[in-house]
Chains A and B, each alone.
Chain A
Amino acid sequence: MRRLAIFGGIYSNHLALAAALADVARRNVDAIYCLGDLGAFGPAPDRVFPLLRDSGVVTIQGNYDNSLALGLPDCQCGYTDPRDNSFARLSYDYTFRRTSPKNKAWLATLPASLHLEIEDLRVALFHGSPRKMNEFLWESACSDAFLEYLLDFARADVLCVTHTGIKWHRALPSGRHVVNVGALGRPENDGGTNVWYALLTFANRFLSVEFIPVVYDYHALAAEMQGEHLPDEFIETILTGWWTTCLEILPHKERARGRF
């Protein structure tokens, strides 16, 4: 049996990351993977780097990491609405300014994907999708047929992604799996203040997926964000669990579940 802890979308939420790592440490896992987007949204981006390195987390690049590493003018988040893009810009400019050159150089060394072989299953890790780092894979907007195509494309039996910020798992008719591990950086638009990571247990070619809620000191994070003059809309999301930005990219079902 092999057990992996997988998370993504840290968005500078070092308090949630520390809480998640403490939780993982109690669960007897064989390896920890991060699917990228270390920065964005939250305060003091440099704080997440030592936490990841000290815990031996194997990390791949997300679009944010790719932008910071290459010094690009924007985060390549893939938003389509002017208001969403305006918030993305505020956040990216702040994160770019406050990420050290050493950490940017480290981001440049990260791979865009990882391919593992676990208990005879081929497991592929990507940030967005196997075909694009910033492609959104929402649960209600991906047909089974499309996910089977992505698994063929990635030559995988199990595909793990993040990027959307909302977790889901689908076991497909072929017996293969797609897991969106959700995000540690902000709650997932359900009115809860906790965040999530995924625990994948492999035994005899069988995979079971469990999503683990992470409770952390979100009041302390909100206070830090206030101290850094980050937008009130971001702080509201941390305090309430409802998204106030990045809404126009949501498909109908995911949008209807939220408050805004």
Chain B
Amino acid sequence: MNPPRVQLSHLDNLWFQVTGTLCNLACTHCFNGSGPGVRTFDFLSPADVRRELGHAARLGVREIFFTGGEPFLHPALLEMLADSLRVAPVTVLTNATLLPERIAVRLAEIERASSYSLEIRVSLDSPNETANDAIRGAGVFSRVLASIERLCRHGLLPLVTVVRNWPLEDEPEILASFTRLLSDRAGYHRPRLKFLPALPLGRELVRIGALHDEPFVTEEMLGGFDSDLLMCSNSRVVTDRGVWVCPLLVEMPDARLGSHLADAAPSYALRHRACYTCYEFGVFCSNVSPAIEGATPPAAPGEP
């Protein structure tokens, strides 16, 4: 059976895989296998970024995202963020272990200088230090909380993103624990939290094993489905090795669509298990994502 094809309806989200797959951490669930010394993909230069920004602006791009690897390993990241903020709102996805005072100050200056929002998305995996560091590495928990404190002190409100690794019924309790932790340890009293699904890709796939048949997206499933909820209908990723269809599939050779945005193929066939994850949860790579049905809402402030 042929996998269904999805057209790019509009380039809402342009991603730069700015440090390739180079990261200072090696998280056990990393979906693109990033880590120390991993050079599957390499750095983009500020000139690469400026060239693609120009093309993306002509296409009507809505938002820019910086990911990796760890973007703050790039010595010219701040320059590229400022360049991008002249074109569109920007989000940078970071593990927040490389954000000393000097960088936090500069980020806040860059944010204030733009009329567009700069979102700092910080990854954390558990409100419990031991559980978090088992996934992300020893000592990471404390360093991240210190970074969040610095960002907040300079007027930035980071989006704390967490890969959901608990049963849905535990969600209100987990949310309350994160809220307490961020307030007590980072002085972040109105935390912005975003929960993400785990992806059956990269090291996570090795970790969970391919033991059961995951469903794939079929033509029938797309009947009556709002394809705008799929990343491939509204996003593209620029890497040093060309343009990929979405940030999840950068390790898949078939997901490379061209050398530059200008010559990238306009459609993609949904061949992967991750495509089903995207179908199931919808646009979760963006800063806002649909709420999960069945998750009980937590108590509002002031409620018992």
A residues sitting closer than 8 Å to B (CB atoms) are 79-87, 131-132, 139-143, 145-146, 148-150, 152, 232-233, 244-245, 247-249, 251-256, 260
Main secondary structure of the interface of A (DSSP, over half): helix
Q: Mark B134-162, 1 if CB is under 8 A from A, else 0.
A: 00000000000000000000011100000
Supplied contacts A143-B116, A152-B60, 18 more A-B pairs, CB within 8 Å: A80-B289, A81-B291, A83-B298, A85-B297, A86-B297, A141-B117, A142-B62, A143-B87, A143-B89, A146-B62, A148-B60, A248-B192, A251-B119, A252-B157, A254-B117, A256-B156, A260-B190, A260-B301
Distance of B288 from chain A, by nearest CB (Å): 4
Q: Does B300 contact A (CB under 8 A)?
A: yes
Verify A146–B289 contact, CB threshold 8 A: no
Q: Mark B48-88, 1 if CB is under 8 A from A, else 0.
A: 00000000111111110000000000000000000000011
Identify the closest chain A residue to B115 (Cβ). Answer: A140
Interface size on B, residues (CB 8 A): 39
Inter-chain CA distance A42–B190, complex, in Å, is: 25
Interface residues of B in 219-233 (CB under 8 A from A): 228
Identify the closest chain A residue to B112 (Cβ). Answer: A253
Inter-chain CA distance A74–B50, complex, in Å, is: 43
Distance of B87 from chain A, by nearest CB (Å): 6
Partner of A141 from the list B56, B60, B89, B292 (CB cut-off 8 Å) is B89
Verify B111–A79 contact, CB threshold 8 A: no
A-B contact count (CB 8 A): 95
Partner of B291 from the list A85, A87, A140, A254 (CB cut-off 8 Å) is A85
Evaluate whether A82 and B61 lie within 8 angstroms (CB atoms) in the complex, with A141-B89, A143-B88, A256-B155 already known. Answer: no
Q: Which residues of B contact A146 (CB under 8 A)?
A: 12, 60-62, 88
Verify A140–B60 contact, CB threshold 8 A: no
Inter-chain CA distance A87–B155, complex, in Å, is: 28
Across the A-B interface, the 4 shortest Cβ-Cβ residue pairs: A149-B60, A143-B88, A86-B297, A252-B117
Verify B288–A82 contact, CB threshold 8 A: no
Verify A252–B60 contact, CB threshold 8 A: no
Identify the closest chain A residue to B58 (Cβ). Answer: A145
Verify B298–A82 contact, CB threshold 8 A: yes
- Ordered by A's residue number, 26 sampled pairs between the chains whose C-beta atoms are within 8 Å are A79-B291, A80-B290, A81-B291, A83-B297, A83-B298, A86-B297, A86-B300, A87-B300, A132-B228, A140-B89, A140-B116, A141-B89, A142-B62, A143-B63, A143-B116, A146-B88, A148-B60, A152-B60, A248-B192, A249-B288, A251-B89, A252-B117, A252-B156, A253-B116, A256-B157, A260-B190
